[in-house]
Structure 1
Amino acid sequence: MASAAPHVMVLPFPAQGHVTPLMELSHRLVDHGFQVTFVCTEPIHALVLNALRRDDENSDAMPGIRLVSIPDGLADGDDRRDLCKFLDGVSRRIPGYVEELIRETGVKWLVGDANMGLCFEVAKKLGVLVACVWPASGAGLGTLLRVPQLIQDGFFDDKGFPKRTGAFELFPNVPPMYTSHMPWSIDGATEGQEVSFRLVSRNTQATSLAEIVVCNSFLDAETAAFELFPDIVPIGPLCADQELRKPVGQLLPEDTRCLAWLDAHPDSSVVYVAFGSFAVFDPRQFRELAEGLELTGRPFLWVVRPDFTSGGLGKAWFDEFPSRVAGNGNGMVVNWCPQQQVLAHRAVACFVSHCGWNSTMEGVRNGVPILCWPYFVDQFANRSYVCDIWRTGLAVAPGDDGVVTKEEVNTKLEQIIGDQGIAERARVLKDAARRSVSVGGSSYQNFKKFVSLLSE
């Protein structure tokens, strides 16, 4: 009799940039004969289901993955964009819900986001093995593992507050970190920072409970980091499937009309602009970006989430802008799009990005030069990879008032699109990424070991 498929529980941190790589990993595990219970908090679960329902093509595209929800520890009316309240709810309540779910499902492995490390403790208590997934750069996790040393060396106090300002370099060929842009650096009251720092510290310590720590990166992208931290195993760049048809847990419905719009444009002609699920622009910055894109005279595809700008923009101006740029054939503005398909499209010349790690890896995987516009935390270090280490892009430079002007947007886009050196280095890195996940490549071999460990 055939043995039952091994069953694992996959647990992402409840945010888009975490759900996507863990969903990609889940599809890969299903391809290797696993059954996956994919656990989201209730609000995230509802968004994923809603986006799936809106995309009829993909409604049956998740065989082998069962979506399950748990409460997120917050009340219905609570503001989930209040990071302090959100993190507090997640850390206090979710481990208990995960414990119940593990008992119910009887899984032998928890494949958990490193940012849910508090749940590793309950898994181990129940005799369940843990595989830890770090969804960002290897250098990012390596830096967190060094935080006790950084406190000792006087960079931070024991509550995570910076004692020095500016950038510091831990190691050569690894991006510098910024004391004000650590993963626990959140705007607002000091107690919020403290809650965040305690949570990040506990989660980082919990990685030691895992049998293996894997990350969504590849050897050639971060050679120095993986030499320094050989226990972090790169298995990326993760991709759900070659045809980019499998859903990757989007939280907003994708506007796929943009693919036909791209089809109508010549190769390497379109500027693609997207700032992930979290960045918010004030009205002045938003307008400068909009007018900067128009100034280039190039076709552009711009993702503007409904909550992307913080009010104060005249509704009339915003309603008029997309119709004006659509009318002259130059621009298309969408709420959300199938980013992986967009970046793989022959028409895309350049990616204006917040430099979240998923977006960075998707740009790398497709050899697209990146114009970096980081918003918070690790995005500044990722900018350094793109601009200083790989040299596959440029960065915008804000003025003294912190605003990136339309002239700066225009100038940098012209520079990056005309730079043959950047294009060639982006192509070389793309080839290295593809080799790493092809048969015999480093990420391919690491993934095979990962699969056999989970199968034991």
Structure 2
Amino acid sequence: MEQQTVPHLLLIPFPALGHISPMIKLAELLYQAGFHITFLNTPHNYDRHLRFTDLQSRFTSSPRFRFQTISDGLPPDHPRSVQLIRDIFFSTQLVTKPLLRDLLLSFPQDLPVTGIIADGIMTFAIDVAQDLGIPIFIFRTCSACAFWAYRCIPKLIEAGDLPFEDHDDMDRPINSVPGMETLLRRRDLPSICRMKDLENPVFQFFVNETLNTARASGLILNTFDDLEGPILSHIGSHFPQLYSIGPIHTLLKTRQGDTPPSVASNGGLWEEGGNCLAWLESKPFKSVLYVSFGSIVSVTRDELLELWYGLVNSGKPFLWVIRKDLIARKEGEEGEIPAELEGGTKERGCVVGWAPQEEVLAHPAVGGFLTHSGWNSTLESIIAGVPMICWPQLSDQPINSRFVSEVWRNGIDMKDRCDRVTVEKMVRDLMVDQREELEKAADKMADLARKCVREGGSSYCNFERLLEDIRSTMSFPQLS
């Protein structure tokens, strides 16, 4: 048999939008570099992609890019909400892991999988890959600062920083994360660090997944050297094959040139409210606050109302994404929206179920972003030069918001607060009182981000190095 000369890469995202979106952008980058790509998705998410994106049609004519599905181990009627996302952590390990091995064994002999790129919280794929002799790279979709904090959790425990109680001083300094000694407080640590029981399966899951990364051939991060250079240096001492190639969505656009991007690259799992762009056209330059809490964060009805009052009382125009599953309702909880909120929203607000976020942030009318500080949203805001109000809720979001407010200084942190007075003040600070200094920092960071993805920039060069290393580790296993 003639030896295959082009790598065939299998990409495995964690089945949530914040993970799928950057992974599919990475897949397109690798496809453009000439590789064969198989992108795995769960049937649940693949069906939603077919409904709301051009995922299928984009690559119909290409034999080098194919989509396949693999079960996440949950029944079709499982809500897959943030409250139950832990189910996916463990069902993928139990159910998806053996299915992945079977899938790899099923590929034809003339096109075997020669390399794998797996999500950083799907490290069971390392076991499968090593068993079959296939090189594997890990793509962790959080920030470098969050990854490093997860990696340092054993140090936090050893230093006595973990565990702590909810009633303890949440502003107590944390000094046991190298490179962040004077920066972090308890409240800034990843959300799992607020767990009192260090034997909690979710806590152990994140610790183990992070430690397991060292077993892979390399670690890919969606960040850039000018943003998180000092932290990347710490990570690099433990993970020599480290590739900082972000912002991936901008690197993709840069390398595509005049080629139109795939709608699938937005990773959308909801139908977008395109009318919001027309609404923005009617608004003055940098006058609108964009509000979105991503794809899985939920809020209580009380939090929703406090946020809403704060937005209306600020007097600033706002575009708010309220997903149909945003509100975590208590059983039997009902209630009308107060008339003053409906009136204030009708006067200067626009509410949609989902929005094309990259386009919204790039719109001249948008002057600020009230965000949950998810890493994709943070990077999209950085590249657009839009200052942020950070209201983090889970996972890596608390540490991202701390870096935004205290290191990069392109936003302000509203962590652990949600009352109408604070929201109103934060909006006015962002859009009026602190606007000039925040915009200056945001513009500087945006310029650095754009330079890093151009030819010769750090992320551009790191991606070229990743391509070379994938080719050099190319394997043609004898599957049996």
Which TM-score applies when normalising by structure 2?
Answer: 0.84
Partner secondary structure for residue 447 of structure 1 = helix
1:182 corresponds to 2:190:
yes
**Separation of aligned partners in 2, 1:325 and 1:45:** 38
Aligned to 1:425: 441
Return the structure number with greater relative CO, CA threshold 8 A, min gap 6.
2
Structure 1 residues 274-309: Cα deviation after superposition (integer angstroms, max 9, x where no partner): 001122111111112112212222221100011111
Asked if the contact 2:179/2:234 (under 8 Å) is kept, the reply is no
Aligned to 2:478: none
Report deviation, 1:177: 6.1
Map of 1:305-320 to 2, 5 A cutoff?
305-311=323-329, 314=334, 316-317=336-337
**Separation of aligned partners in 1, 2:167 and 2:311:** 39
Cα RMSD of the aligned pairs, angstroms, is 2.9
Residue from 219, 233, 238 that aligns with 1:213: 219
Report deviation, 1:51: 1.7
Aligned to 1:274: 292
Corresponding letter in the other structure for 2:28: H
Asked if the contact 1:156/1:162 (under 8 Å) is kept, the reply is no
**Separation of aligned partners in 1, 2:150 and 2:75:** 31
Corresponding letter in the other structure for 2:457: G
Report deviation, 1:233: 2.4
Asked if the contact 1:111/1:131 (under 8 Å) is kept, the reply is yes
Residue from 385, 410, 415 that aligns with 2:429: 415
Aligned to 1:150: 156
**Separation of aligned partners in 2, 1:258 and 1:122:** 45
Partner secondary structure for residue 248 of structure 2 = coil
**Separation of aligned partners in 1, 2:194 and 2:145:** 20
**Separation of aligned partners in 2, 1:134 and 1:237:** 13
Residue from 88, 91, 112 that aligns with 1:89: 91
1:71 corresponds to 2:71:
yes
1:247 corresponds to 2:264:
yes
Q: Which segment is superposed worse, 167-176 or 356-365? A: 167-176
Structure 1 residues 210-235: Cα deviation after superposition (integer angstroms, max 9, x where no partner): 11101000011112101212233211
1:38 corresponds to 2:39:
yes
Residue from 458, 464, 467 that aligns with 1:442: 458
Map of 1:224-235 to 2, 5 A cutoff?
224-230=230-236, 231=239, 232-235=242-245
Report deviation, 1:340: 1.1
Corresponding letter in the other structure for 1:103: L
Q: Which segment is superposed worse, 11-20 or 172-181? A: 172-181
Asked if the contact 1:356/1:379 (under 8 Å) is kept, the reply is yes
1:171 corresponds to 2:178:
yes
Structure 1 residues 185-220: Cα deviation after superposition (integer angstroms, max 9, x where no partner): 588x969x7221332233223212211101000011
Aligned to 1:25: 26
> Cα distance 1:190–1:67, how it changes in 2: closer, same or farther (>3 A)?
farther
Map of 1:34-433 to 2, 5 A cutoff?
34-52=35-53, 60-62=57-59, 64-81=64-81, 82-105=84-107, 106-156=112-162, 166=170, 167-169=173-175, 170-173=177-180, 176=184, 178=186, 181-182=189-190, 184=192, 194-230=200-236, 231=239, 232-239=242-249, 240-241=252-253, 245-248=262-265, 249-311=267-329, 314=334, 316-317=336-337, 324=343, 327-328=346-347, 330-396=348-414, 404-418=418-432, 419-433=435-449
Q: Which segment is superposed worse, 285-294 or 304-313? A: 304-313
Unpaired runs of 5+ in structure 1? none
Partner secondary structure for residue 219 of structure 2 = strand
Q: Which segment is superposed worse, 235-244 or 373-382? A: 235-244
Report deviation, 1:393: 0.8
Report deviation, 1:10: 0.6
Asked if the contact 1:322/1:332 (under 8 Å) is kept, the reply is no
**Separation of aligned partners in 1, 2:148 and 2:167:** 21
Unpaired runs of 5+ in structure 2? 255-259, 473-480
Corresponding letter in the other structure for 1:100: D
Structure 1 residues 40-91: Cα deviation after superposition (integer angstroms, max 9, x where no partner): 2222222222222xx6xx7633455422111111234445332343322122
**Separation of aligned partners in 1, 2:308 and 2:444:** 32
**Separation of aligned partners in 2, 1:197 and 1:392:** 31
> Cα distance 1:428–1:420, how it changes in 2: closer, same or farther (>3 A)?
same
Corresponding letter in the other structure for 1:226: L
**Separation of aligned partners in 1, 2:38 and 2:262:** 20
Count, aligned residues: 442
Asked if the contact 1:94/1:119 (under 8 Å) is kept, the reply is no
